[in-house]
Amino acid sequence: MIVLHIDYNSLKPIYIQIAEGIKNDILSGRLAEKGPVYSQLVLSKELGINPATAAKGINVLVQNGILEKQRGMSMVVAAGARSRLIAAKQDDDLHTLVAALVSAARKINLSEDRLLDMVQNRFTETAPKEGNEENE
Amino acid sequence: MSDHKKDPNVIRAEILTKKYPDKKALDNLTFTIQGSSITGLIGRNGAGKTTLMKLCAGLLTPTAGCLEIFGEPPGNNLKVLTRIVYACHDQPHDKNLRLRNVLSNYQIMFPVFDREFADKLVSFFRLNPKAKYGTLSQGMSSVFNFICGLACRAPVTLFDEPVLGMDAATRKSLYEVLLRDYNEYPRLILISSHLLTEIEGYLSDILLIDKGRLVWHGNIDDLRQSAYRLQGNVDVLESFCAGKHVLYQKHGVTDNIAVVREHPDDETVQEAAAAGLTLSVVRPEDLCLYLTQDTTEEELECLWEKTN
Amino acid sequence: MFVGKDELINARKLTGQWLHNTRFNWLFMSVTFAFVFLGNIMTLFNYYSETSRGIRTHQIMDYSRPVAFGLVGALVIMMLLYKTTDTKCVMFPQTGTSRFLAEKARYYCLIGAAGLNLVVYYFVAYALIGLWGQIVGDTMFANRFSIGFTLAGLLAWLLYMSIVLETMLALRLFIMKFRILSAVGLVLLVLLTIIDFAAIESFGATAIGALILERGLGFFLLKGIALWVLLFALSMVINKISLQDQSSRSAKQVITDNVTLAITVVAALVFVIVFIPQSLDSRIPRNLVIPSEEAYELTIPEFDPGPNRFVMNLDASGIPRGSSITITTIDVVKANDATQSVPDSDYYPLPEIVTMLYTVQDEQALLNFTGNEIRLEYWLPTWETGGIDMTRYIQPRFSARLDGNTLCLEYQYTLTSNAFFLPMWSFMEQFDTFKEKGIFYESAMPLFYNTRGERGWILISVD
């Protein structure tokens, strides 16, 4: 059922891997908003990990507002979690691109003003025409 | 101090020492294990793991220092001892007893022993309840003793090398059973093992001892995050490692390795990448090895040198 | 004080485990005992000595003594192997005290089983021989069966064994350290001082012997129990001290914690043992009369009025004056008749016959009868085998009648063919409680058996 896979050789702590795995499942639609999320027990059983580690991973997401605890014991995906994740991902991706852009610019000694000009031009060139939607 | 008494499942050791005429088995050990957890007791042969477990089970008495379980010393203390079970792979049961009689004995002596569960486990692991204990092979008696320890559902459960002699398939089943039962009935489990890589996922904490002394105690994630391995050019390696706490180094013909005791934060990762070194994670088993190793390359090489 | 309630329950559980685990051993032991005892009942029919007129007296030895010896040996072996038994339970919750209590319980189980086997054997022996006797006839038991005696003896035997055990446990450290050598020495010492009752005078000076030897069974039990409690407590204390490394409390703490109570208890026990009025004479009197070497002179005994002395007055008013009265006898012999070969000694091993003798006070008075009555003062013969009065089994009957001028004296008796001696708890002889109740007999082996008979006498006089 769960496609999460723990890589013990990764530099990422296990609980982070779990948190990210759940996030991916929310993004891909596997876990629906306001719907149930994998419980600590299920994660422990299927992944063969200590329930405390699973709990830690879930907690991270609770703190980030991705998951929330409902009445009783069940944990559900928070409303609007998906869109927030998408936004965050976009943010992340964007930051990565900006970092790459800036470091590439420095490598060829491009000045900040020239870079900004290039970005502006690109925005103008690719401005959405009537009926033409372009997404990054 | 009083907080410990309120917490459930506490093993508390303070400057715990156990001396024998010929050696010091435990030396000023101080640690606390609180709450439900699966803690791996890791150490080399003769590090003092069994001694520590036997002290917790009240089978030995400390020479110095103190050891408290649920706030009281376990020795000769029925209140505490009925809530602790010590299961080793070769428990000295009467060889002529049938397995079901041994289970009955456990049922009598431990208040919350789940006989039904134990019987199911016995058949799950393909043991014959009518077999005599003395006829079991090494692996089978390990399984049986594990079952006895697990079914006790004791708030403090000590497994001393429970998988000794077991084949891989049985080990896998055992870990699954252990984890599932721990999920249903959480308790403080201390499990000593040499196969850390196998049980890495199941553990929440590690208690590493060497030569009777405490080397490290804490969450296994923290242990994972406390060191990294570098591979690459020997000169780059040496300059990168300058001033750092290096646990282990190896300079070979094909490769050069260094293990550094430091948290691999993003900055370090980027630096290493920039320097052209491969930075990888150190598995807890390897890390424990590096932390307790005492033989050097030279010693190894000397083995084949001819003395003239 | 010494033991908590939880520890008692724990000890009970541990003992129960051991009993269950060794149940086949117990079965085996009981079956072996049964075979040995039944086999020995058969020897009853081998050992016998002939006495007069074909009475066969059968006897076996008192098993309470060899079993006591064997039991002590078994206990010593169990004690030497205590570690092995303890190891099999080490994985279960227990304390040093509960472990020791469970160990004690194991020994007491063995003692109890031995005692039970002895009593059961005793009952079975009586039942079997009684049955045999019913079928064969002419059989009797030489020593009387008594439930009270059997149970009292069992209690006393168990108490003795318990005292021995507690003494050994109090000295167990010594046994453990020096193993076989001291174990053997200790066993001998203990046995000689406590169990060898027959030689008690020689060893009466030993501490335990002097302490609890009593004439009265009640006093013995009281003192014995007091001594046992003392030794029990002593062994518990020694155990706590010697295994101190296993417990977290120091020896000093153990002692001082309970010092007031302990002193009180010890003082009370010492008082009971030492100051309760002792019997004046704690030596067992010998009631075996040394037989005189020669007793050829046959003296006519006096008639002492007593329980077995009878007087019969025959009305002789119808006898004509001056006529003579003749005496005819059946199985009665005239005392002064030198031609009769009547054994003189009362201690002749095999009296031919348990006879009645008669003597006439005045011969002339009978030849020339002028009286009114013929007075017969008589007592019946007695027959004793090993101190047991067997007379009742001979059923001696004496009758006399005056038939015209003839005085007929007739003595009748029946002799049993088989007499069985089943001794038990022979150490109980030291107590007054059961003496002379037909339970004990003196000597041990049939070969050195004394059968003693005393003639009956008829003293005839004329009134």
Instruction: Give the per-residue SS3 of C400-427.
Output: EEEECCEEEEEEECCCCCEEEECCCCHH
DSSP letter (8 states) at residue C149: H
- The Cα of B79 is separated from the nearest Cα of chain C by a number of Å equal to 9
Q: Which residue is closest to C4 within chain B, CA to CA?
A: B78
A56: chain B residues, CB-CB within 8 Å: 221
Q: Do A47 and B38 touch (CB under 8 A)?
A: no
What pLDDT tens digit does each residue of chain B (308 aa) get?
A: 444 445 555 888 888 989 888 888 999 999 999 888 999 999 998 899 999 999 999 998 899 999 999 989 998 889 999 999 999 998 999 888 999 999 999 999 998 999 999 999 999 999 999 999 999 999 999 999 999 999 999 999 999 999 999 999 999 999 999 999 999 999 999 999 888 889 999 999 999 999 999 999 999 999 999 999 998 888 888 888 888 888 888 888 888 888 988 888 888 888 888 888 888 999 999 999 888 887 777 788 888 888 76
| Structure tokens belonging to residue B292 | 């307790």
At C262 the pLDDT is 54
| C-alpha separations of C448 from A82, C153, C294 in Å | 112, 26, 19
User: How far separated are the first and last CA of chain A, in Å rounded?
Assistant: 32
Distance from CA of B14 to the nearest CA of C (A): 16
Q: pLDDT grade, residue A90 (50/70/90)?
A: confident
User: Chain C neighbours among B 83-102 (CB < 8 Å)?
Assistant: 84-87, 91-94, 96-97, 101
Residues of B in contact with A6 (CB under 8 A): 201
**Interchain contact, B180 vs A48, CB within 8 Å:** no
> In this predicted structure, what is the pLDDT of residue C184?
65
Q: Do chains C and B touch (3 or more CB pairs under 8 A)?
A: yes
Angle (deg, nearest 10), helices C96-136 and C23-43: 30
Structure tokens, B213: 């002394």
- Best interface-test mutation with A: which of B198, B219, B221, B230 has the largest number of A CBs within 10 A? B221
Interface predicted TM-score (ipTM) of this complex, two decimals:
0.83
Domain A14-79: give its CATH architecture: Orthogonal Bundle (1.10)
Query: Chains touching chain A at 3 or more Cβ pairs under 8 angstroms?
Result: B
Provide the 8-state DSSP code for B305.
Answer: P
Tell me what pLDDT residue C448 has: 36
Which parts of chain C sit beneath pLDDT 50? Answer: 49-54, 196-206, 244-251, 253-258, 260, 275-296, 338-352, 442-449
pLDDT in tens, B195-223: 888 999 999 999 999 999 999 999 999 99
Contact C386, C142 (CB under 8 A): yes
The pTM assigned to this predicted structure is 0.75
Q: Kindly list the residues from chain C whose CB atom is less than 8 angstroms away from the CB atom of residue B70.
A: none
Return all residues near B151 (Cβ < 8 A) that are at least 6 apart. Answer: B103, B106, B113, B114, B115, B117, B118, B121
Q: How far apart are CA A8 and CA B281, in angstroms?
A: 9
Q: CA-CA distances (angstroms) from residue B161 to B24, B51, B67, B142, B166?
A: 21, 13, 22, 9, 11
- Predicted confidence at residue A51, as pLDDT, reads 93
Q: Nearest-CA neighbor of C376 among C301, C332, C305, C313?
A: C313
pLDDT of residue C389: 62
C143 Cβ contact list (under 8 Å, min separation 6) = C388, C421, C422, C423, C438, C439, C440, C441
Q: Is B217 on the interface with C (CB under 8 A)?
A: no
- Domain spans of chain A, in order of start: 14-79, 82-128
Q: Do chains A and C touch (3 or more CB pairs under 8 A)?
A: no
C85, C88, C94: best mutation site toward chain B, by most B Cβ within 10 Å? Answer: C88
Determine, for residues A45 and B183 on separate chains, whether the beta-carbon distance falls below 8 Å.
Answer: yes
Segment C299-328, tens digit of pLDDT = 677 777 777 788 888 888 878 888 888 888
What value does the CA radius of gyration of chain C take, rounded to a whole number of Å?
Answer: 31
Give me the residue from B75, B96, B104 closest to C246, CB to CB: B75
Q: Does C95 touch chain B (CB under 8 A)?
A: yes
Both structure tokens of A103: 């470091």
Contacts of C87 in chain B (CB under 8 A): 92
Asked if pLDDT for residue A73 goes beyond 50, the answer is: yes
Which chain B residues have a beta carbon less than 8 Å from that of C20? 101, 104
Asked whether the beta carbons of residue B101 and residue C94 sit closer than 8 angstroms, the reply is no
pLDDT for the residue C267: 55
Q: Could you report the per-residue pLDDT of C280-289, keeping only the tens digit for each?
A: 333 222 232 3
